[in-house]
A and B are shown apart, each in its own frame.
Chain A
Amino acid sequence: MAIVFERPHSLTDVSSHYCPGCTHGIIHRLVAEVIDELGIEGTTVGVAPVGCSVMAYNYFECDMQEAAHGRAPAVATGIKRVHPENVVFTYQGDGDLAAIGTAETVHAATRGENITVIFVNNAIYGMTGGQMAPTSLVGQITQTTPYGRKTETQGYPINVCEMLATLEGSAYLERVSVDSVKNVKAAKKAIKKAFETQIAGKGFSLVEVLSICPTNWGMDPIESLDWLRENMMKQYPLGVYKDKTKEGEE
């Protein structure tokens, strides 16, 4: 009998700590499938963040480093500069990447640091129990915005891809979603392209993945996916925000 579906080799065979209905599992799998397909497991080094995916170092079969909160792009910079021939990726949430780690994100991008960032945006701090994130929507109710995010006091959501697209050093930026089979497939394509951008030495690549957090959103997974489509996608339109990979080919 032919095997038609199995665990990617670069995904470890352990149970994850993620909540039921969480989309981190899908995104982990997509990253692992891409690593497998590109045949780069042996030369890839991943960097885990602080947040829900803090233990991502247990879930990927490649070498891993665990960074301090927000510092993954700086840690990845150190790794990549020592071994430029290796493939280096970070896996970060919205609090890690767009609040405490904004400086590291922006400067890795503007240096054109040849790394790949997988940015999981679920508009909330999950690990600590559902506080407002820099990407929380206006009006969104969280533990620390119990009356909804108000622009007068909490300002506006950060659109990371749009912000980084203004920087010359960014080579490839795309926002995707994992709310449907079609979008999951598109997300994988984007993640693969991001890794290929790095392998080709083109510079900084980032894929922002719109993700759900049923536990802290207080919805079931189906409602969460609807909420993502109806609310998050309006604030965070899917699409390619920067693509320098074609440069020099024409």
Chain B
Amino acid sequence: MSDKVLMKGNEALAEAAIRANCRFFFGYPITPQTELAAYMAKKMPKAGGLFMQAESEVAAINMVYGAAGAGARVMTSSSSPGISLKSEGISYIAGADLPCLVVNIVRGGPGLGGIQPAQSDYFQATKGGGHGDYHMVVLAPASIQEIVDLTGEAFDIADRYRTPVMIMGDGMLGQMMEPVTFENVGKGASDLPEKTWATDGTHMKRKKNIINSLYLQPEDLEKLVLEREQRYQVIKEKEVRYEASMIDDAEYVFVAYGTTARIVKNAIKTLRAEGYKVGLIRPITLFPFPEKILAETAKRVKGMLCVEMSTGQMVYDVRLAANGACPVEFFGRTGGVVPVPDEIIASFKKMVGGDK
């Protein structure tokens, strides 16, 4: 008998977090991540944990700061406008080297934007959001099962590198139902360091711990920022994840992540049937970005087409990775409009110079 259950992405993420031993959730209501918080409100108390609805996204992320600093496995979730509000707190969390999970179920923007699926927060997620020299690890699942598996990994990555980790989905992934298994979640990595830095009381047995991001001496601050930068380099070496599909004989390669990658796969099926040798590179980690595979592939293909639900954000990273080795074109829909395979195919054919 299969132990698979049919679940919405938002709920599956919440369940996976609880199974990954997250016991503290601080959030504020926003569409389209609603089911995640609702599931937490229902299930967290039964797991002996805490669900708290804060007075704002700002308060929620600062509760995460406090709880993470006290040594807890902790998370928050929101959607684009809420993530903008949390971005100050994320900067402080990065600056104080605190592990936590932040979920962004992205909707169209800017401003209030809309509530339909989008990928227009790529810059915000991978290039800052908050102020200062910092990064988050950003994971971009493309299925409900991948949401579940990456949620477990996200907490381990956060603990391993003392960094905030973001899972970036979209309204489609959050609302869609798929069968999932939780067998890979909750095992926990064995290499996680002890949280000797946590402020859980000295009990008069150790020197006091301070959770802080303020360093008024420039040399002190520079030293810490550079130390963190070295950690990012290790993350870039060890934590890159991507899916490469049908790229061995490919003349052209699509680059897409999340929901868009699934639609691109449908387009590829059609194009392959028509005789086009096309493949897909799907970044699963947006930071660290899978530069190496893209650079290698760019050298032997005729071109790349980056498809996003935005006006073109990840495409800049694809071009940097390709470094001029092949042309990198872009196709996107935005504002909450989800592209269909036909328009992706049309865009591809335009790039290669018409029908075969």
Chain A residues proximal to chain B, CB less than 8 Å: 41-45, 47, 54-55, 57-58, 60-68, 71, 74-83, 86, 103-104, 106-107
Q: How far is the CB of B199 from chain A (nearest CB, A)?
A: 4
CA distance A98 to B329 in the complex (A): 52
Nearest A residue to B92 by beta-carbon distance? A68
Interface pair A77/B210, CB less than 8 Å apart:
no
Point out the residues of chain B lying under 8 angstroms from A44, CB to CB.
Answer: 201
Is B54's beta carbon under 8 Å from chain A?
Answer: yes
Chain B residues proximal to chain A, CB less than 8 Å: 24, 26, 50, 52, 54-56, 58-60, 62-72, 74, 88-89, 92, 96, 199-205, 208-214
Nearest B residue to A12 by beta-carbon distance? B208
Q: How far is the CB of B26 from chain A (nearest CB, A)?
A: 7
Point out the residues of chain B lying under 8 angstroms from A71, CB to CB.
Answer: 58-59, 62, 65, 89
Interface pair A45/B70, CB less than 8 Å apart:
yes
Interface pair B69/A77, CB less than 8 Å apart:
no
Q: How far is the CB of B308 from chain A (nearest CB, A)?
A: 32
CA distance A57 to B211 in the complex (A): 9
Given A43-B201, A61-B208, residue A74 in contact with residue B59 (CB < 8 A): yes
Interface pair A81/B69, CB less than 8 Å apart:
no
Interface pair B69/A65, CB less than 8 Å apart:
yes
Besides A65-B199, A66-B96, A104-B59, 8 other CB < 8 A contacts? A42-B203, A45-B201, A62-B202, A66-B214, A74-B63, A77-B52, A78-B70, A104-B55
Nearest B residue to A71 by beta-carbon distance? B62
Contact of B62 among A60, A64, A67 (CB under 8 A): A67
Q: How far is the CB of B93 from chain A (nearest CB, A)?
A: 10
Point out the residues of chain A lying under 8 angstroms from B212, CB to CB.
Answer: 57, 64-66
Point out the residues of chain B lying under 8 angstroms from A43, CB to CB.
Answer: 201, 203
Given A45-B70, A57-B210, A61-B208, residue A83 in contact with residue B200 (CB < 8 A): yes
Can you list 30 A-B contacts with CB-CB less than 8 angstroms, sorted by A residue number?
A: A42-B205, A58-B210, A60-B208, A62-B208, A63-B202, A63-B208, A64-B208, A64-B209, A66-B96, A66-B211, A67-B62, A67-B66, A68-B65, A71-B59, A74-B54, A74-B58, A74-B59, A75-B63, A75-B66, A78-B62, A78-B65, A78-B68, A79-B69, A79-B199, A81-B50, A82-B72, A86-B200, A103-B56, A104-B55, A104-B62
Point out the residues of chain A lying under 8 angstroms from B24, CB to CB.
Answer: 78, 81-82
CA distance A76 to B200 in the complex (A): 12
Point out the residues of chain B lying under 8 angstroms from A65, CB to CB.
Answer: 65-66, 69, 199, 210-212
Point out the residues of chain B lying under 8 angstroms from A86, CB to CB.
Answer: 200-201
Point out the residues of chain A lying under 8 angstroms from B202, CB to CB.
Answer: 41-42, 61-63
Most chain-A CB neighbours within 10 Å: which of B71, B89, B96, B202? B202
Interface pair A81/B52, CB less than 8 Å apart:
yes
Interface pair B55/A103, CB less than 8 Å apart:
yes
Point out the residues of chain B lying under 8 angstroms from A74, CB to CB.
Answer: 54, 58-60, 62-63, 65-66
Point out the residues of chain A lying under 8 angstroms from B62, CB to CB.
Answer: 67-68, 71, 74-75, 78, 104
Contact of A66 among B50, B58, B210 (CB under 8 A): B210
Point out the residues of chain B lying under 8 angstroms from A60, CB to CB.
Answer: 208
